[in-house]
Amino acid sequence: MLELYLFVNPLGATCYQAEQNILRLAEMSKKRIKFKFVPLLNMESTTAIMSANNLNICNLQKRNEITQLLYRAVLDYKAAMFQGTKRGKCFLLHIQKQIHDYQRDYDEALVIEAAKASKLDLEMFLGDRHSDLAVKCFKKDQELAAKLNVHSNPTMIIYNLDGYDCGFAVKDCQSFALLEDLLLGDRDEFICPDFHRATSSRKICAKLYPLFNKQEK
């Protein structure tokens, strides 16, 4: 069984695309794929949102506002996850679809709408999103990212890839063709001369970063 950890910016467009790709591949795969979307918040996350919205990345006030917005979005996602992985993913995808497909803002109205659409217990969710437990879970995600040397979104961590004893980190993994070749294709199609770059039969290149300590997952 493949195990995937996709580190995402919860409000990022490229991360939304990467998530959609993994969901599609999970449906296509004959083997079971276990996957988890892990929020990652750092300076790069904030810069990506500012750049995508044509904001001055040197504006410290606006940078602080975006960072707080992302932090709020992460805690909301963690609170939704408390009511089940399926509902948590549904909540996140609803938020992202509204933002990126319909150009809506991340605000209280959208959060409540997403919670109801995901069939969350609203009273419980509203309490959990401000809880110490949500903050604790957020910190654990950041610690996991640091342990795996993940600094950018989207980055995918893969375990149990056929033919390899270690896990791999794959950066810039929003290409569906790349993920299809890597996860569902014939392992012999990939050439890894230096364990850092793979090339499929379709001439799609990916930088693979081996994780030799499988105990860290």
Determine the residue type at 152.
S
| pLDDT given for residue 214 in this prediction | 47
| pLDDT given for residue 217 in this prediction | 45
pLDDT tens by residue, 17-40: 999 999 999 999 888 899 999 999
pLDDT tens by residue, 54-108: 999 999 999 999 999 999 999 999 999 999 999 999 999 999 999 999 999 999 9
pLDDT tens by residue, 157-192: 988 877 777 788 888 777 788 788 778 875 555 545
Q: Residue 211 — pLDDT band, cuts 50, 70, 90?
A: confident
| pLDDT given for residue 186 in this prediction | 58
Strands 2-8 and 155-159: antiparallel
Tell which residue, 153, 155, 206, has the closest CA to residue 177: 206
| pLDDT given for residue 205 in this prediction | 53
pLDDT tens by residue, 129-142: 999 999 999 999 99
Do 14 and 174 contact (CB within 8 A), yes or no? yes
| pLDDT given for residue 64 in this prediction | 97
- Distance between CA atoms of residues 75 and 62, nearest Å: 20
Helix (H/G/I), strand (E/B), else coil: 196: coil
- Take residue 27 and report the two structure tokens written for it: 């449906």
User: What rounded mean pLDDT belongs to the chain?
Assistant: 87
